[in-house]
Structure 1
Amino acid sequence: MIEQVRRIAAFCAGDSGGNPAGVWIGTALPDDGTMGRVAAAVGYSETVFAAPLDDGWRVRYFSPESEVPFCGHATIALGAALALERGAGTYALQTNHAQVTVEGAEAGGAITASLVSPPATGSAAPAAIVNEALALFGYTHDDLDPRMPPALANGGAGHLILALKTRAALGAMRYDLDAGRTLMRREGWATIAIVHAESATRFHARNPFASGGVYEDPATGAAAAALAGYLREIGWPATAIDIVQGEDMGVPCHLHAEALPGQGSAVRVSGSARVMA
């Protein structure tokens, strides 16, 4: 069954970088155990499984260690795969908890895709949880950007958002994987999104993904949706942002996120993709 998995990098920076995802497309979804074993064998941060459902697709996402409710980069990879197999278009997806769409297109060898996330929301994070997360990374409150208070945000999956004043502090991010796994699984977070605003429209991000057994994800579309939704909630001056991620891992990734109008509404997350050998 693993032979059916396509390997596609999402949110590429030109012809390089991007976060690899496994994409399995079949006539019916395998059982949970099989999907978990395939995802572990593929070894990427997520593998998406898709099968026809009514006029769309039933999708589920698995990391090497667990199922996740929603994964942005795997959705972008799925959109690229569907565009290559079935042609450019918008495809309806049913996750475990929400209905989303992904649009894929291919022209001249360039593959692009964009997803529309589940509703995106954000609220202030409790002080005790913030203190615990700061201690995990060795940060203090002085490292935080006061324009973006720590928040619990969701754009299909839960994330803690920590905004830092400086790019240097972001580059210095380190943590203990086991301690991070314990914290993230206890709180139900897919990742902790650590970001720095270079400007109102350009962000740098790192996303520890210990909940899925991955030290760091080079591009995280679900966290991008959560971040853009949170920024809309606090009245950030831009509703569309570009996110540079993966640079500190040597895997450059570019994401574009646009918060759609209306409190709690969806976010459109876009990027390019490439098929991996």
Structure 2
Amino acid sequence: MIIQRIAAFTNGPTGGNPAGVAIGEALPDPAAMQSMAAEIGYSETAFAAPDGDAWRVRYFAPQAEVDFCGHATIALGAALARQQGSGSFALRLNHAGISVDGVHSATEWSAAFHSPPTHTRALPAAVVGEILALFGLTQDDLDPGIPPVLAHAGMDHPVVALRERSRLAAMSYDFGRGQALAQRERFCTFAIIHVETPQLVHARNPFPFGGVYEDPATGAAAAALAGYLRELAWPAQGPILIRQGEDMGVACGLQVDLDGPAGAPVKVSGSVRAIEAA
């Protein structure tokens, strides 16, 4: 099974979050997929095979399977568009059905997915305290307009909004402690954000659950965050741009639309580029 290497949510011809994409007639067994994901070493690899009128998809990080991955879905949609022609593709995930639209032409290579349904729930005060301690933060660092919450769009992401961009840039944490907390609570990533304007959000996404210190572009977290902002009756007019990866030196851009009622799927869009010939 050939693994394509595609960077999703690029910043023009540069940046983007690398993902592996493997498309075959049938999915390998889980142990083989886990081994291939560990070997390629990207934060996630998407494996896809035809399943009736849809595609069965599973996602593997280097150390664990995850139920959904946004940037790997963007990479998969783009790869399917290159293979099958531009169009919409139905995907069957472990616990949800979604769709991804892929475009492949002489001037554009991009994709957009519609996330699983979104929801939020409160984080216990003790867990919020653990998260703040992990990242060396205090209550005074938090944006009072966006309280910490557990946001979901296929996977769970605790959202922590900071008042100052400089605190986001200085983010660091102990990987072992973060991994223990993420695995205990089943947190996919920690969504640490700073809102510059209602239509521009800066984000960093530690991913110790999957064995990765930080993810440069996280579509699942972007969808979960968008679902949360929609619940807050966010004042943005039109799509929101999430800038991620800049503090890692890998600038990425994710566009999210807040259309629809609370709880509805969120549309997340981005461009892609090939890392090497497929």
TM norm. shorter chain > 0.5: yes
Q: How many residues are paired up?
A: 275
CA change 1:46–1:17 in 2 (3 A) is same
Deviation at 1:109, TM superposition (A): 4.2
Instruction: Please give the per-residue CA displacement for 1:76-101, whole angstroms capped at 9, x wherever unaligned.
Output: 00001001011000000000000000
Structure 1 residue runs without a partner (length 5+): none
Q: Distance in 2 between matches of 1:63 and 1:222?
A: 14
Aligned to 2:263: 264
Q: Is the 8 A contact 1:151 1:161 kept in 2?
A: yes
Q: What's the TM-score, normalizing by structure 1?
A: 0.98
Aligned to 1:223: 221
Structure 2 residue runs without a partner (length 5+): none
Q: Secondary structure at the match of 1:262?
A: coil
Deviation at 1:259, TM superposition (A): 2.4
Matches within 5 A, 1:180-259: 180-238=178-236, 240-259=239-258
- Aligned residue identity for 2:101: E
Instruction: Please give the per-residue CA displacement for 1:198-232, whole angstroms capped at 9, x wherever unaligned.
Output: 00010000000000000000000000000000011
- Aligned residue identity for 1:33: A
Instruction: Please give the per-residue CA displacement for 1:218-258, whole angstroms capped at 9, x wherever unaligned.
Output: 00000000000001112221273110000011000000011
Q: Distance in 2 between matches of 1:241 and 1:151?
A: 19
Q: Is the 8 A contact 1:153 1:227 kept in 2?
A: yes
Q: Distance in 2 between matches of 1:205 and 1:49?
A: 27
Q: Distance in 1 between matches of 2:167 and 2:73?
A: 30
When structure 1 is superposed on structure 2, of 97-106 and 253-262 the one drifting more is 253-262
Q: Distance in 2 between matches of 1:174 and 1:16?
A: 25
Q: Is the 8 A contact 1:228 1:240 kept in 2?
A: no
Q: 1:84 aligns with which of 79, 82, 91?
A: 82
Q: Is the 8 A contact 1:259 1:266 kept in 2?
A: no
Deviation at 1:110, TM superposition (A): 2.4
Instruction: Please give the per-residue CA displacement for 1:4-32, whole angstroms capped at 9, x wherever unaligned.
Output: 00000000000000000000000011001
Instruction: Please give the per-residue CA displacement for 1:132-159, whole angstroms capped at 9, x wherever unaligned.
Output: 0000000000000000000100011110
Q: Is the 8 A contact 1:10 1:73 kept in 2?
A: yes
- Aligned residue identity for 2:126: A
The two structures, once aligned, show a CA RMSD in angstroms of 0.9
Q: What's the TM-score, normalizing by structure 2?
A: 0.97
Q: 1:34 aligns with which of 23, 27, 32?
A: 32
Q: Is the 8 A contact 1:120 1:226 kept in 2?
A: yes
Aligned: 1:45 with 2:33: no
Q: 1:153 aligns with which of 148, 151, 154?
A: 151
Deviation at 1:116, TM superposition (A): 0.2
Q: Distance in 2 between matches of 1:36 and 1:87?
A: 29
- Percent sequence identity over aligned pairs: 57
- Aligned residue identity for 1:94: R
Q: Secondary structure at the match of 2:250?
A: coil
Q: Secondary structure at the match of 1:223?
A: helix
